[in-house]
């Protein structure tokens, strides 16, 4: 499992609030082009976020399903991108210092062709993608921290 971490200048609850707003995923999850719908129960276990990923006109429609939700410390998703496959994505939030959070994102392909094609290049691309995802998540969480 590829793991990337970043310390964000916001509390675990402030960061989790961004994770809990499914409509923002296309703003910070690299590769998500459009959020088509979000179940009303999001992010409860079993709820789904319906998305489109990849560049147009080759984008794929699928959904991500919540497997574990432990606010404000953990969220685990099964992210679908069929026919390419699916990945398990785990967000772990840990308070560090006063008003800061260490966020870890772990991602591993769980099914489909992406699981079978494992290379160091794929791992590097996934690492870089998740680092940028955490940078974008940090931008939104810290912006919301400063909101009245």
Vertex 75, ends 22 and 6: CA angle to 5°? 95
What whole-number distance in Å separates Cα of residue 142 and Cα of residue 148? 12
Q: How many domains does the chain have?
A: 1
Q: Of 107, 5, 17, 23, whose CA–CA distance to 71 is shortest?
A: 17
Average pLDDT over all residues of the chain: 87
Contact 19, 143 (CB under 8 A): no
Q: Which residues of the chain have pLDDT under 70?
A: 1, 56, 82-84, 111-125, 145-148
Residue 120 pLDDT: 57
Residue 31 pLDDT: 83
Name the residue range of residue 75's domain: 2-145
Residue 24 pLDDT: 95
Residue 67 pLDDT: 98
Please report, for the domain that includes residue 10, its CATH number: 3.30.530.20
Task: Name, in order, each residue with C-beta under 8 angstroms of 59's C-beta and a sequence gap of 6 or more.
Answer: 33, 34, 52, 53
């Amino acid at each position: 499992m590829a793991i990337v971490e970043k310390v964000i200048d916001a509390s675990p609850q402030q960061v989790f609030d961004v994770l809990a707003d499914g409509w923002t995923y296309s703003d910070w999850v690299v590769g998500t082009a459009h959020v088509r719908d979000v179940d009303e129960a999001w992010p409860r276990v079993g709820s789904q976020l319906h998305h489109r990923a990849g560049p147009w006109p080759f984008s794929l429609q699928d959904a991500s399903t919540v497997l574990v939700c432990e606010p404000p410390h953990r969220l685990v998703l099964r992210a679908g991108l069929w026919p390419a496959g699916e990945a398990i994505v785990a967000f772990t939030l840990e308070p560090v210092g006063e008003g800061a959070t260490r966020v870890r994102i772990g991602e591993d392909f769980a099914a489909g062709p992406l699981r079978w094609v494992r290379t160091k290049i794929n791992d590097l691309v996934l690492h870089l993608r998740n680092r940028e995802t955490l940078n974008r998540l940090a931008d939104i969480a810290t912006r919301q921290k400063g909101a009245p």
